Amino acid sequence: MACFFRRSVAAQLSRICGAPEDVLVPLLSAVPVSKKQSTPDLRLAVNSLVKNGVLSPDADLQTQTERLTKQLRVDAVVEEVISGRGVINFRINKRLLVEVRRTSCALRFTRSGFSNLSAHCLKRSLAHSSPNIAKKFHAGHLRSTIIGNFIANLKEVLGNEVIRVNYLGDWGMQFGLLGAGFQRLGSQEKLRENALQHLFEVMLTCALQVYVQVNREAEHDESVRLAAAEFFRRLEQHDEQTLSLWKQFRDITVEEYKKIYERLGVRFDHYSGESFHQSRAQEVLKELRTRRLLKTTEKGKGVVDLSAASDLSSYATLVRSDGTSLYITRDVAAALDRKERFHFDEMIYVTDKSQSVHFQQLFQILRVMGHHWAERCVHVPFGLVLGMSSRLGEVVLLEDVLNEARYRMQHNMQEAKTSKELTDPELTAEQIGVSALIIQDFKGKLISDYKFDWQKVLQAQGDTGVFLQYTHARLRSLLRMHGSGNHTHFNPSHLQDSRSISILQHLLRYDEVLLQSALDLQPRHLVNFLITLSHLAASAHRELPVKGSPAELAQARLRLFSATCSVLANGMKILGITPVDKM
């Protein structure tokens, strides 16, 4: 819908000032709904025309604003053109605005429909989640998983092709520690003999303990440190026995993660990992050496100079004195490999902000190596989640978080006695639990840390995922009962009340909000939009009865509720939430 109105105004503007429609469309913003009925529907900041080179920067802004306003005409779409301070406001013809059928075009995300707004149709490689084998799956990995999933969903909706990559932490010195520890404390027979589930228990529960124990021991016991270094050295040299133990660890972990990702509704196109880029890392080092980009320090480390003055005042270490590769070396190799394999236009990495320097260095190294596409590599950093725990204490595995959310949600639903007619209350509780986690996580700026609080997360009232689900389920139930409104005999004049108009005006903002989120890769624009939509829908649901209203009025309201429900569901899906029909 928004496309239609925005396009029409842009076309008129384009005829007047000569700029292409595509440049003008994104400059027209839908004005947020306010209590005052008189808000305009679309607004143009004349300054943005200057910034885009459409108008001259030399002339007085207000004079230009007024001149342009005078040239604009009222037409079938625009009811009124009003100039303000540096802005031009457009009021959209109310009759058209309430023609809810038009909203349906906002609901069909065809490539062409949105590529106008998304500017390009690009191929993106998106690396997210990326947990470490045999280490804690901490809240950061949960954030990386859901944020990456959101970015990928959004880019796809806007017409891009996305390749979702899970870059596992499956290589590095910690495998020396894990391998050596397992050889000492782990049970090889059990690991070999038992079923996958048992193997996983041995591997992640027991091996986690082993890992922690080994870590503690390593502080005192020099022999463990040496054994660990030896194990990793053998791994790097692809010693068969060492490699097969490592492979067992990896395979089991991936299998288990896949199940958890399924519970979260997340899938990957590609599981890679640091181990994949092993030999390539050695090639990278060779290339750097031949091109004299790798310098050896006194202590025997290999470094790449990243300083402007070539004085090693800033550098990245790519090779240890014993010749083994580092995290960043493998990332350079992985980036080169992905470029060749996927031919991406843009690569997005999603990790916590503690890795910001790592990615700056990574992109710098790629530039030093002459890869201009490093300019199109993006790091999306996010903040810490503080205090995430479960009934059993500190959260160690992602599974613990999901189980806790499901358990608590099911408990709440039983208390509220809502879950009686559900076919699978456990699944519904899980889906609502996950949406609560997602909304809590996406509400603020991603870079901010936040304190985790189960009570707040799972509240049914207030700006939570539970509230979104509740609103959606109520609308679905209304539509189940009465149908989604008669398409052919629909009279928009029945939607002239302030509540209906507020919803319609708000729906007008949907594509703009998606675009905004796509530009800065922050989900909060969409989250806030959906929360406001839910509040508007909740009050409309209360105040605009369908049951008992004259048929024509009831039909018109059903059309409005059906459009609201579709946009709500659609937006939730982009966020990675499965909308529930009953709860």
Binding to ligand ARG by CB under 6 A, coded x per residue (else -) over 216-255, reads: ----------------------------------------
Dihedral sign from CA coordinates of 183, 187, 193, 198: negative
Which CB sits closer to ligand ARG, 362 or 457? 362
Question: Which one, of 3, 1, 13, lies nearest residue 75 by Cα?
Answer: 13
Alpha helices in 301-353 (DSSP H): 327-342
Binding to ligand ARG by CB under 6 A, coded x per residue (else -) over 336-355, reads: -------------x-x----
Piece of the chain touching ligand ARG by CB under 6 A; list 79-87, 123-131, 252-260, 308-316? 123-131
State the Cα–Cα distance between residues 107 and 506, nearest whole angstrom. 14
Which CB sits closer to ligand ARG, 349 or 510? 349
**CB 132 → ligand ARG: shortest distance, Å?**
5
Q: Is 440 in the site for ligand ARG (CB under 6 A)?
A: no
Catalytic one of 128, 136, 141, 525: 141
Q: H or E segment at 234? A: helix 222-236
* 286 counts as catalytic: no
Which CB sits closer to ligand ARG, 87 or 177? 177
**CB 143 → ligand ARG: shortest distance, Å?**
11
Listing DSSP states for 161-210 in one string gives: EEEEEEEEB--SHHHHHHHHHHHHHS-HHHHHHS-HHHHHIIIIIIHHHH
Q: Do residues 387 and 451 lie in contact, with contact meaning Cβ atoms separated by under 8 Å?
A: yes
Of residues 515-534, which lie at the interface with ligand ARG (CB under 6 A)? none
Binding to ligand ARG by CB under 6 A, coded x per residue (else -) over 130-149, reads: xxx-----------------
| Neighbouring C-beta atoms of residue 45, cutoff 10 Å | 17
Piece of the chain touching ligand ARG by CB under 6 A; list 46-54, 127-135, 280-288, 387-395? 127-135
| Neighbouring C-beta atoms of residue 457, cutoff 10 Å | 20
Which CB sits closer to ligand ARG, 128 or 541? 128
Lookup result for tokens 């899938």: 267
Q: H or E segment at 24? A: helix 21-24
**CB 97 → ligand ARG: shortest distance, Å?**
46
Q: For residue 248, what are its two tokens?
A: 């067992």
**CB 575 → ligand ARG: shortest distance, Å?**
22
**CB 139 → ligand ARG: shortest distance, Å?**
12
Catalytic one of 138, 155, 494, 525: 138
Dihedral sign from CA coordinates of 183, 189, 190, 192: positive
State the Cα–Cα distance between residues 426 and 408, nearest whole angstrom. 11
Burial class (CB in 10 A: 0-12, 13-18, 19+), 307: exposed
Q: Residue 240 has what DSSP assignment?
A: H
**CB 169 → ligand ARG: shortest distance, Å?**
3
**Residue number with the smallest Cβ distance to ligand ARG:** 169
For residue 130, give the 3-state DSSP assignment: coil
State the Cα–Cα distance between residues 75 and 493, nearest whole angstrom. 19
Which CB sits closer to ligand ARG, 350 or 540? 350
Listing DSSP states for 405-429 in one string gives: HHHHHHHHHHHTT-GGG-S-HHHHH
Which of 2, 46, 55, 127 contacts ligand ARG by CB under 6 A? 127
- For the chain, report the end-to-end CA distance as a whole number of angstroms: 30
State the Cα–Cα distance between residues 226 and 231, nearest whole angstrom. 9
Piece of the chain touching ligand ARG by CB under 6 A; list 126-134, 395-403, 474-482, 557-565? 126-134
Q: H or E segment at 116? A: helix 111-118
| Neighbouring C-beta atoms of residue 552, cutoff 10 Å | 14
Q: For residue 427, what are its two tokens?
A: 């699944």
Which CB sits closer to ligand ARG, 6 or 330? 330
**CB 349 → ligand ARG: shortest distance, Å?**
5
**CB 219 → ligand ARG: shortest distance, Å?**
22
Q: Do residues 96 and 77 lie in contact, with contact meaning Cβ atoms separated by under 8 Å?
A: yes
Which CB sits closer to ligand ARG, 167 or 382? 167
List Cβ neighbours of 476 (8 Å cut-off, separation of 6 or more). Answer: 565, 579, 581, 582
Catalytic one of 135, 270, 295, 443: 135
List Cβ neighbours of 356 (8 Å cut-off, separation of 6 or more). Answer: 379, 381
**CB 406 → ligand ARG: shortest distance, Å?**
25
* 138 counts as catalytic: yes
**CB 127 → ligand ARG: shortest distance, Å?**
5
Binding to ligand ARG by CB under 6 A, coded x per residue (else -) over 156-185, reads: -----------x-x----------------
Q: Do residues 141 and 39 lie in contact, with contact meaning Cβ atoms separated by under 8 Å?
A: no
**CB 168 → ligand ARG: shortest distance, Å?**
7
Which of 41, 331, 441, 512 contacts ligand ARG by CB under 6 A? 331
- State which amino acid sits at residue 338: R
Dihedral sign from CA coordinates of 393, 397, 403, 408: positive
Binding site for ligand ARG (CB under 6 A): 127, 130-132, 167, 169, 331, 349, 351
Which residues participate in catalysis according to the annotation? 135, 138, 141
